[in-house]
Structure 1
Amino acid sequence: MNKLKANIVLVITLVVVGCGSKLPEIIATVVTEQTPHDTDDPAIWVNPDNPSESIVFGTDKNTDGGVYAFDLNGKIIESKSIKNIKRPNNVDVEYGFKLTDSTETDIIAFSERERQQFRVFSVPDIQPLDNGGFKVFEGETELEHNLPMGIALYKSPKTGSIYVIVGRKSGPKLGYLHQYELVSDSLGVHANLVRKFGAFSGKKEIEAIAIDNENGIVYFSDEGHCIRKYYAEPSMGDEEIGCFGGEYFKEDIEGIAIAKYADKGFLIVSNQQAHSFNIFDLETNAFIKELNLGTIETDGCEVTTADLGSQFPNGLFVSMNNDRNFYFHDLDLLKLTE
């Protein structure tokens, strides 16, 4: 091969594999078993009694899809997995939802796109709390404006109320996200719409949503544009308080995870077509660095800084990989605090 042809091949290779290949790969601690169809988004439930028995939930996005439960070895827990879900997209976890004055449970919530609703189940016993599902974006007539995708749970430090914030396949330039309050009474659990908020560039879609509970801030990815930042507390209003980071992404801004330590916080955001992750300072939103964790075309990701026992004593970062699986990284490998 002559020098000109070699250079052409090199350029083509770099374009095809993306920016992430230029970075040294941080090898995953665990790679999970495969799901049947198409992985998308994970959530981590930290077991308060035995952290080493914590559960990672991951969506399998298909008409005959499901939310699969994994142990920390990456093995599917069949008894905790939820099957026959019509295109589940994103999933999230929250702790301490009050069923009665004296009873509470941890919960997962996930979007079910083809039924235009989201689901809520108790954790770890995996029982439905939603009477079959809560409808979202009701009354919408525009194509794809009623198809839920992204979802995140917010527990108000002011009131203890738990809210579900939902994004969709497409929507208006304002009010793209809908926020619902979960309430429980003698008739069961209800989801009450409390507001519509969030700007949309119109370029692609908004899927990834993550919430800083302690500070009451919601972040979401306006793909191809920026990471948007709003107050999660409805009483704080609907004004945008940040739109940042777009220049650091090759194309789509995807999954968002928030890693919080006692004195520092980080946003970890999927740079999807570059097959890498961009790290931002949570307080200033300044870009810090880019990492290659080995995943390809990552949609969703999640993180916990909790000690999960001998296998993940420094915390756990989970990211979707396009080979129908998820990668688990010991959080210390990301060297966020260095």
Structure 2
Amino acid sequence: MLNRLIDFSKSGLIACTLFVSACSTTASFQAIANFKLKSHGQAWQSLKATTLDSSTYLVLVSEQSGLLVGDISDSKHLVLEGKYEHLDVRPQGDRSLLVFTVDQQSNIPQLIEFDVGSTSIEKKKTQTFKLGNFQIDGLCLYRDSQQNLFAFLLDGYGGGEMRWLLDGQSGRPVDASVKALKLPPGSDQCSVSDENETLFITEESIGVWQYPANPETEWQRSLITENLYHPEVPAEISAIDAQHDILLVATQKSINLYTQKNKSWQLAHAFKPPKQFTSSAITSYSENIVLWDEKQQVLQGLPALEINPLNKSQNHLPVVAASVQTEAMQTRGDAADDPAIWVHPQAPEKSRILGTNKKWGLMVYNLNGEREQAIATGHINNIDIRQQVASSEGLVDIAVASNRSDNSMALYKIDPASGEVSTWAALPTNLNEVYGICLYAPSHDEAYVFINDKNGLINQYQLLLQNSAPAAKLIQTFQLQSQPEACVADDKTGVLFVGEEDVGIWRFNLKQAPVPAPELIAKAGEQLVSDIEGIDLVENQHGKYLIISSQGDSSYAILEGEAPFKYLAKFRIGFNADKRLDGASETDGLAVTGKPLGEKYPDGLLVVQDGYNLLPEAPQNFKLVDWQLVIKALGLKNVHD
């Protein structure tokens, strides 16, 4: 890829084609074909371009001149009086433009919708939004794969917030704070590539940082630009603009164009403008670059660069929304971990969700997400449930959890009438760092526990529940090379699935004695992005599936539940505007049942741990998803209406 400085001399412009080695010189500083929109005698401070129904429109704002919307041929334009600062734009359907800006006098963000007709542009409506107690120093819009519209608002001092503006399904205003932003001081400009879900933020005297735009992704950054144009003379950034796989960064010394390759942003061109040129705003359209020349008070256009974005259209994963969330954990940090679903035998709508708090104990929730019990048992990590297991008390419903406080197995009883959970016993193990756990009950009279250690050791214990006191007997051990966690056993087929976090999913055949070497049925990679966390099986009239938490990309993979365990699809859990719920991300544990749980969940329920509980920010919790929505979104089976 080219990485060179291109000099716009007074007599001409050098136009280069990306990804080739030759450049050609034009005779003069040319205007873009059909680019005729003028400044209309005004001074502008922010500039954005967008395409609507195959036509390109420019939007400009100023504290003195108001707001201008016009097409590049200047066949129609509209100027609003007012004092505006900061700007971003998105198309809305085929005939509307959404312009997000700030009323300079009131510091109130406004989303202005313009109706674009064949001969005119008209203001349609204005929506105002709430704001925290800070002065807006920069802003940008982000539209996610669900078409939800968000805004990033920067205060320039290292703070700000992400705000949800519009619901992508209905188009209705939401106006809710998603999360606070934690940035370095001097962060005052931003732009988002919606397609790549990438947020770019400038830091004064440093450069441009790349952050995730998706709020359900871990807030990490990487530096893209540094010492712009000339290492000895770093220049302050005057404007940035992201479009697809193109990032434009303007300074008083250069216009820098970055492109993305293999998820990395690289400098492709560095243009040196004429000496008399001062850029204070920049944008692009159709591979053309448009700038506002602050000194000459004119718009300038650079001809097309034949840019060939590598990922201009990305295949976004299907998204389903949660319908309910549980109450948040009492403590912040990495607390919530693994859920399990107990199904009420007579009244399924009264079923319970058992969720672990690995800093404290066990939480019990109803299907509305309300906490029914909190049991201080210790550092409970993973949990599993079996119902109707033979014991000295008759058939009982049990839960077993890995207790990292004393490396034991915490055994619980569940009352079949009320769903009340009570502690029953603490069963010791010989492991040093217990981690994942699951139950296997091939019949009412047999119940086994598989519990693993961080060193890869997996122990199988037989539960002895028909004695006067519960006990556990070590039956056999298995060994993986690195850290496992989640596991699930298929009671019908005698298959144990174990997730080795950085490797993949292993299948153990428990029907054979001795148990043969495990088979790797799914490798960590593009479909399962490590860490591989929660695993569960679901079976009903829509099929039998293995569902896995692909924690590395905050998604959920679906495999066939029987050999050959073919990979089928992935999905994500996104925002729900009607319920004001965020999605789920970096999920640890999950649980799923295909049994009907009342009117809300006629085809079963999926419960996942949410690593980042937002809208607003709060301690971790669990999200509840109608399993029928997953089936429909992925088209796995025909679903009755």
TM-score by length of 1: 0.85
The answer for the alignment partner of 1:96 in structure 2 is 388
Deviation, structure 1 residue 280: 0.6
Q: Distance in 2 between matches of 1:9 and 1:328?
A: 39
Matches within 5 A, 1:228-307: 228-233=506-511, 236-246=513-523, 247=525, 248-262=527-541, 264-283=543-562, 284-293=564-573, 294-307=583-596
Q: Distance in 1 between matches of 2:328 and 2:590?
A: 16
The answer for the alignment partner of 1:135 in structure 2 is 428
Residues 183 and 25 of structure 1: is their aligned pair in 2 closer, same or farther, counting only changes over 3 Å? same
The answer for the alignment partner of 1:49 in structure 2 is 346
Matches within 5 A, 1:1-338: 1=240, 3-5=246-248, 22-37=316-331, 38-62=335-359, 65-78=360-373, 81-83=374-376, 85-100=377-392, 103-124=394-415, 125-130=420-425, 133-136=426-429, 138=430, 146-157=432-443, 160-171=445-456, 176-197=457-478, 199-202=479-482, 205-233=483-511, 236-246=513-523, 247=525, 248-262=527-541, 264-283=543-562, 284-293=564-573, 294-322=583-611, 323=613, 324-335=620-631, 336-338=636-638
Q: Tell me the alpha carbon deviations over residues 16-62 of structure 1, each in whole angstroms, 9 at most, x when there is no partner.
A: xxxx9932431101111101231100000000011000000000111
Q: Distance in 2 between matches of 1:14 and 1:154?
A: 45
**Residue 211 of structure 1 contacts residue 232 of structure 1 at CA under 8 Å; is this kept in 2?**
no
SS at match of 1:209: strand
Q: Which runs of 5+ in 1 are unaligned?
A: 139-144
The amino acid of 1:72's aligned partner reads: L
**Residue 154 of structure 1 contacts residue 232 of structure 1 at CA under 8 Å; is this kept in 2?**
no
**Residue 506 of structure 2 contacts residue 522 of structure 2 at CA under 8 Å; is this kept in 1?**
no
**Residue 152 of structure 1 contacts residue 210 of structure 1 at CA under 8 Å; is this kept in 2?**
yes
SS at match of 2:422: coil
Q: Distance in 1 between matches of 2:520 and 2:351?
A: 34
Deviation, structure 1 residue 135: 1.2
Runs ≥4 residues deviating over 4 A? 6-15
Name the one with the larger strand percent. 2
Name the one with the larger helix percent. 1
Q: Which has the larger radius of gyration?
A: 2
Q: Distance in 2 between matches of 1:263 and 1:305?
A: 9
SS at match of 1:334: helix
SS at match of 1:292: strand
**Residue 21 of structure 1 contacts residue 275 of structure 1 at CA under 8 Å; is this kept in 2?**
no
Q: Distance in 2 between matches of 1:189 and 1:103?
A: 13
Q: Tell me the alpha carbon deviations over residues 271-310 of structure 1, each in whole angstroms, 9 at most, x when there is no partner.
A: 1010001111111211101101131110100100011001
**Residue 250 of structure 1 contacts residue 271 of structure 1 at CA under 8 Å; is this kept in 2?**
yes
SS at match of 1:201: coil
The amino acid of 2:247's aligned partner reads: L
The amino acid of 2:389's aligned partner reads: F
Q: Tell me the alpha carbon deviations over residues 156-177 of structure 1, each in whole angstroms, 9 at most, x when there is no partner.
A: 23x7300011012224xxxx21
TM-score by length of 2: 0.46
The amino acid of 1:148's aligned partner reads: V
**Residue 66 of structure 1 contacts residue 82 of structure 1 at CA under 8 Å; is this kept in 2?**
yes
Q: Which runs of 5+ in 2 are unaligned?
A: 1-239, 250-256, 266-313, 574-582, 614-619
Residues 263 and 31 of structure 1: is their aligned pair in 2 closer, same or farther, counting only changes over 3 Å? closer
Residues 113 and 184 of structure 1: is their aligned pair in 2 closer, same or farther, counting only changes over 3 Å? same
Q: Tell me the alpha carbon deviations over residues 97-154 of structure 1, each in whole angstroms, 9 at most, x when there is no partner.
A: 2222x61210011111121101111103423321xx1111x2xxxxxx5111111011
Q: Distance in 1 between matches of 2:442 and 2:336?
A: 30
Q: Percent identity?
A: 27
When the two chains are superposed, the root-mean-square deviation of aligned CA atoms in Å is 2.4
Residues 268 and 207 of structure 1: is their aligned pair in 2 closer, same or farther, counting only changes over 3 Å? same
The amino acid of 1:282's aligned partner reads: G
Residues 332 and 243 of structure 1: is their aligned pair in 2 closer, same or farther, counting only changes over 3 Å? same
The structure with higher relative contact order (CA 8 Å, sep 6+) is 1
Deviation, structure 1 residue 270: 0.7
Deviation, structure 1 residue 12: 11
Q: Distance in 1 between matches of 2:637 and 2:486?
A: 24
